[in-house]
Every structure is written in C-alpha cells, then in structure tokens.
Structure 1
Amino acid sequence: METVLIAGGSGTIGKYLSKKLIENGFKVNLLSRTNKSISGITTYLWNVENQYLDEKAIESADYIINLSGANIGEKKWSSKRKKEISDSRVDSNKLLFNQIEKQNKKVKAFISASAVGYYGMITSDKIFTENDLPANDFLGMVCNKWEESCNSFENYGIRTVKIRTGVVLNSGDGALSKMMLPIKMFVGSPLGTGNQFIPWIYIDDLCNIYLKAIMDEKMNGAFNAVAPEHIYNKNFTKLLAKILNKPLLLPNIPAFVLKIILGEMAKLVLEGSRISSKKIENMGFHFNYPTLNSALNQIILNK
C-alpha cells in the first residue's frame, strides 16, 4: 500500500481528498501543527514558521501533496496579511524540500496546490491557458513565487505537478456557503457589473484531479483545475437563487461599496476571467460535474 503525505490536510479539501485516497487504496498521513488523533490516519507534527518537520513523515511517504497556505479571503489584505499569504505557501514548500534533501528521499511525485490567481485579478474575454505568463498584481506574484518554490523538487528529479485551482464549491463551509447566505436572507444580488467570470470547480472533481496527478506518471507541470463551463457572476447568482427557490430582489451591489468594505481584496469578487480546462481534459480527465447546474444540484439538492 502506497502512502500519501498531505500537508495542510485538515481543511475542507484535505479531508475530502483524504477520504477519496483511502477509498482508492492509499494510506494517508497528515502534517499538522497539533498532534490530534484522526481515525485511520497518522498525524505528524510540523511547524512552517520554525521550519520543523518530523522526519518520520518523510520516511514513510511515497507521494507528497501540499495544500497549505493562509486563507486569502479570511482577512483584509494589510501588508502583514499579504506577507502571511505568500510566506505560508512558499515556506511550506521550502520546508518539505529541505527535509527531503536532508533525508536523501526520492518520493514518486510532489503535488502542490496553486491558484488561478496566477493569471491575475482581471476581467477579460481572453481564455487563459497554462502557457500564459503570471500577472504582475498581488495574486499573480504570490502564485508565481508559490510555483517557483516547487522547482527545487523538479530539479531534484521528482515529478512535480502544480494544480491551479479555481473557486472550490462544496456543501460545507467555503465560498458557496458565503454566496448562499445573502440569497437565503433575500438580500442576494450580483456583485459589481456581474460581468466578471467565476472560474469554479466542484470539490469532487478537484480531488479526482489530485488522484490523477498521483496515478498518472505523464502529469508534470501546471494544470488548471476549473470546470469547463465559463459563467458570469450574474448568471451564477441567478442560477444559485433559482435552485434555492429564492428571488433576487435587490439591484447589483455597486463595486465602490465592496471596495470600501474589503479594500484591495474586493478584486477577488469584482474581477474574474475565463480559464481553460483543456490541458487536463486532453490528459484523459473526465469532469463528473462540468456545468454549474450539475454541481449545484448535487450540492444543494443532492441529485
């Protein structure tokens, strides 16, 4: 039985992915800042700030997945918060590589989360592909540094995959629950012009991409993890309200209001471009939830 070590595995994606890996015959170990007990899973201590990692975690690993990183939408983007967002991603990869090199360990693959923020917080008709250069705005620079920190693994001879993830939809806490709340309270409406795209993916499809990244030795480099369907914020909001059976009574929320409330972070919801899923599909990946309607029906109505 092969072992997958997941860093940042205590969050929503990590929990879902752990379950899927176990169902597919893998043993799952987690890296955590606390030595908490999880049934069927071995947890090892690590501390990114102190650059500490229990060497037993690396010894037993056949594959490593790094999902760790400070939540970009949790707090306003002060200079301190921006540094936390960047450092938590880059330094965790550095810690993992340094420990691998120290122990002279060659895992079969290293898979790191990344984000479609790589292409920038902009709205355009261009469809971005993995061949496009990183944007020079905050998220573009963070994602570029994040991915560059993976190069050490590649140079060490380890197959390295970077998963540029869109907005992840799931039934628990997360982006979708935040979108649903105002609609349920009859105060939901599109944001800004509503003409920005939301590059999204259902959590099950995302975790299947990670599973494929482990099992498919041909997967190398960056892959966009977004559903094939491109959808505007206004159409996303209308469909969500329809499935929730709630009316949209208010006009669009003006951009300036969101900028006052959120500051620079408002760009997260006011901007969004189309992102291509062709590369992962050309690798033979099949989306079980290619349309927003199919994903929302599964999440909300369980059908």
Structure 2
Amino acid sequence: MKPSLRKVLISGGRGLIGMRLSEMLIDAGYEVAHLSRQTSHGHYCSFRWDPATGQIDEAAIRYADFIVNLAGASVSEGKWTEERKQDIMASRVGGTNLLARELREKEHHVKAFISASAIGVYGDADDRLLTEDTPPAPADDFLADVSTQWERAAQQVQELGIRTVITRIGIVLSDEGGALPTIARPVKLGAGVVLGSGRQYMSWVHIDDACRLIIQTMEDAEWQGTYNVVAPNPVTNKEFTATLADVLHRPLVLPKVPEFGLKLVMGEMSEIVLASQRVSAQKIMAQGFQFEYPQLRGALESFYQKEEE
C-alpha cells in the first residue's frame, strides 16, 4: 500500500469494535477520524453527521482514503419496542444510505468501503453449517431483516465502482463490552447457567481478530464482497458456558434457563441468545487470514487469565 493512503474514516467509532479498531489503526501508522453526532469526540478528529436528518460535514468524505462503516444502535440494550426496533434499523440503513449518497454525489478519493453486517442475517439455523452463499433468513426474522437491508444499502457503494467489503460479524468477545461481560458476570459469582437447550451454536470472534481482519480487507485489494467474520471453531452455548466457567475456575451449579423463561423476560430480544448459528470461517481462511485466537479457550484466557492469577 502507498504510504500516502493512510486516512481512515470510521462511522460507529465509539462502539466496541470502533474503539479497538481505532487504537490498532493508530498503532499501525494510520490517521483516524470518526463520524459523530457530537462536537467533541475524545482523542480522535471527528466530523459531524446525523443520519436521521441526512446531514454530514462536507469535509468528511473528502478526508478519507478508506471508510469503515460500523454505526448502528445496540441490539442488546433495552427491550425491542417498536420504537427501539425502528432505531436499530434506521441507524444502520440510514447511515449507510447517507455515506452512499455522499460517495455518489461528491468528489472523493475513497479506495475501499468496509461495511459491517452480522451473522444474524442467517436467522436461527440449528446445526447447519452456514457459508456466505447461504440465503438470508426470511424478513419476519427481525435481526435477519436488519442485516439484509444493511447489506443492500452497502451494495449501493459497490455499484459506484468502489471496492466494497461486507463483513458479517459474529459474537464479538471483549472484556470491554458486548456479550462476554454479561455472560461472565453470573459465572464469576458461581451462578453460571446454560441458556435455553444449550445446544444452540454460538459463532464467536475475538475482538482483535475482528479488527485485524477489517484492516486486512482494507489493505489488500483482493478482498471484495461478503465475508463471515467468525473464528473457525463455533461452539454450543453449553460448551461456551462450561469453557468460560473452567477458565474462571468457577462451578456450573444452576439448571438451564428454559426458553420460555428467556422469552418471558427478554421478549423478542431472546432470539439473540436462543438463535443457533454455526457459521463457517473457511472463506476468510482461504483468502489468507490467520487467526490469533482460533480456539475459544485461548480467546477467553486472553481476557481472564491475568485476572485469575
């Protein structure tokens, strides 16, 4: 890559992946700017935008050599009221549409557009192995519908002739946020529990591997199209919980939380933990990506080993 191509614009830069990705890009010698609805944005240069009203700083797109599009309201915070569901959808599709509009209408030198999606696009698929060629689940599955529409919005950029990569991201493991601290909290208290049947597959990825992959797709022009961003060894919920308990040196003492109980407490949002997705990492490995954390135990130990010493 030419040394001059070093400016990365990130939407969703304050999110879990966005913050870690920003750190790793800075360490690798890139300049990083965030798109933000707020004026002040911590350590990073920021450009104002508001996807809800279609407004964006005109200098934002002109700044970028690469755009990484991660923006989206959290799916795991708060119950899925109709208003919340609209926010989840609009924050992803609206932001992506806005970036596509700017790239279509304004002068720019963007070389690649990396856009997030999620393995939720596959729906609840039991133990079937899911590849990038697996059709999306029907639109009556909310998470699948969100991911499908998010990807369609990103494909507008591809139609402009800009190299576009869509990353279907699995359950991101980090001790800074996301699913892992929530799952680990009861385990640390000796109250770890298997959710639902425990047979549902969890396709996970260590946050550093997810960020390294995003950087590789940015830097290498061979990457184009849709990729699953998951580790090569998905596990069942029962295996995940047992491995986590073992790493934390805690017992698993409570019975399973039945599916009807989760649905009662979480409503529709229970599909986040009950849906089974056994997702293949074969395509990214065939393209040359090497995982630092291919196994769950090693990934969990990277967060909790020091804590237990």
The bucket for the TM-score relative to the shorter chain is over 0.9
Structure 2 distance, partners of 1:123, 1:254, is 19
- Show the counterpart of 1:128: 130
TM-score, normalisation: structure 2? 0.95
TM-superposed CA distance for 1:270, in Å, is 1.3
TM-superposed CA distance for 1:184, in Å, is 1.5
The alignment-based identity, stated in percent, is 42
- Show the counterpart of 1:165: 169
TM-superposed CA distance for 1:163, in Å, is 0.5
Is 2:27 the counterpart of 1:28? no
115, 118, 121: which one pairs with 2:118? 115
- Show the counterpart of 1:61: 64
259, 268, 284: which one pairs with 2:272? 268
Structure 2 unmatched runs, 5+: none
TM-superposed CA distance for 1:104, in Å, is 2.9
**Aligned residues between the structures:** 301
Q: Which amino acid aligns with 1:79?
A: E
Once the two structures are superposed, what CA deviation does each residue of 1:77-124 show, in whole Å capped at 9, x if it has no partner? 22222111111101001111112222132410001110000101x142
- Show the counterpart of 1:249: 253
> What secondary structure does 1:265 align onto?
helix
Structure 1 distance, partners of 2:125, 2:40, is 42
- Show the counterpart of 2:236: 232
- Show the counterpart of 1:214: 218
Structure 2 distance, partners of 1:246, 1:181, is 11
TM-score, normalisation: structure 1? 0.97
Question: What root-mean-square deviation, in Å, do the aligned CA atoms of Structure 1 and Structure 2 show?
Answer: 1.2
- Show the counterpart of 2:45: 42
Q: Which amino acid aligns with 1:279?
A: K
TM-superposed CA distance for 1:125, in Å, is 2.0
Contact conserved, 2:194 with 2:241, CA < 8 A, in 1? yes
Structure 2 distance, partners of 1:139, 1:98, is 25
Structure 2 distance, partners of 1:173, 1:64, is 24
Is 2:292 the counterpart of 1:288? yes
175, 181, 187: which one pairs with 1:177? 181
> What secondary structure does 2:22 align onto?
helix
TM-superposed CA distance for 1:152, in Å, is 1.3
TM-superposed CA distance for 1:186, in Å, is 2.2
Structure 2 distance, partners of 1:278, 1:232, is 19
Contact conserved, 1:123 with 1:197, CA < 8 A, in 2? no
Structure 1 distance, partners of 2:170, 2:270, is 17
Structure 2 distance, partners of 1:85, 1:164, is 16
- CA distance 1:37–1:143, shift in 2 (3 Å): closer
Once the two structures are superposed, what CA deviation does each residue of 1:41-86 show, in whole Å capped at 9, x if it has no partner? 3111111111111011111100001110011111212222211111
Is 2:90 the counterpart of 1:87? yes
> What secondary structure does 2:197 align onto?
coil
Once the two structures are superposed, what CA deviation does each residue of 1:114-152 show, in whole Å capped at 9, x if it has no partner? 0000101x1422100001111011111111110000111
Contact conserved, 1:106 with 1:158, CA < 8 A, in 2? no
